[in-house]
Structure 1
Amino acid sequence: MKIVIINYGAGNIQSIKFAIKRLGYEAVLSSDVEEIQSADKVIFPGVGEASSAMAKLRESGLDKIVPNLKQPVLGICLGMQLMCHSSEEGNTTGLGIFDVDVVKFNSTVKVPQIGWNQITNLKSGLFKGIDDKEHIYLVHSFYAPLCEETIAQSEYGLKYSAALAKDNFYGTQFHPEKSSGVGERILENFLNGITF
């Protein structure tokens, strides 16, 4: 199985690669269009700021490639947010895969949210073998509101989308590569094939 992690300057690439290796697979880091398109599974990572990350995608032409991929694609953290319609962070237009706009947490909670939180209302094969209210690891100041494409929720001052799915695209606001055994199971489910 060919697993490609899109390399566009996002910050958490090596930790994802190591997490995949712990599961017994090898992943390739690449920004090459043909290599990404020929992968069996694609991971779209992200740590950083939305507008500068989107600018890097546009510079490389990957903003046109990612939304048209046909194989399973998993966006992580900022990767998931960039797959949304837009983000308030830097007033950024996203890739438009998920039909939701990313917004900033309001001033009633401390941002960024850093640490462990529960996921609930799990609705996808991505969470096969995962119990409701398991804990996952998050670092974020912006969030995707609940929408039709929400497949998991978390709560921080309000309920928001901890994960999204549409067609062959999946996204997690949390970091599965930093979420211990729960995160490894989620990555394994993605790599082994998901039935929605």
Structure 2
Amino acid sequence: MSSSNGGIRVVVADDHVVFAEGLRYILEDAGFAVVGVAGDCRAAAVLVRDQQPDLAVLDVHMPGGSATALVRRVKEDSPSTRIAMLSMQASSRRVAELEDLGIAAYLSKVVDAATLCSVLTAAVHSSGGGTIRVVPGVVDAPHPPVALRAGDRELLEHIAAGRSNKWIARELFVSEATVKRRLAEVYRELGASTRAGAISRAHQLGLIRHDHGTP
């Protein structure tokens, strides 16, 4: 996997040409390398198979097949490719179904460009399980108010940028064990058990700035 946006190779698939080209522009402007754009499920599957990208950004509703079949095909043909699904509308059942297949992210098409790029970067770099979910109106069970300590937001920004515990420890001049302990405390406060869950919750609460850099 790549260590920065400039090395993240992406396939984009959406049957709305204007949206697909707009997404290509947003990603390339943010430093991603878009290696191909497809307009239906069959073309997307072939493109991913041929390009073996780091990330496939796929529309949930496209002609030529179902989203679940496409995800299964991508995982079979390119196991190392992380998958992010985009949708204008989403039911909790559909989101859960795709999460069970192991997608890395599920985002609403109404998210802003900065959030989109931040989540896609985290989806590629995240080594833990779980899906980063940024879908207004489709949320997990409510959590009590979050009370983060000084420095906790910085930790969240680091993990959202895909940085390892070792990298964070070196940057903050603390031990790796300290980083693990502090992250565990942040996860508990957010009601999350994985990096993906913590990033999802942090985005929902507006706790992550979108100007953080990449490793």
TM normalised by structure 1 equals: 0.42
Please tell me whether Structure 1 or Structure 2 has the larger radius of gyration of its CA atoms.
Answer: 2
- TM-score, length-scaled by structure 2: 0.39
Structure with greater strand share of residues: 1
Higher helix share: 2
Higher relative contact order, chain-length normalized (CA < 8 Å, sep 6+)? 1
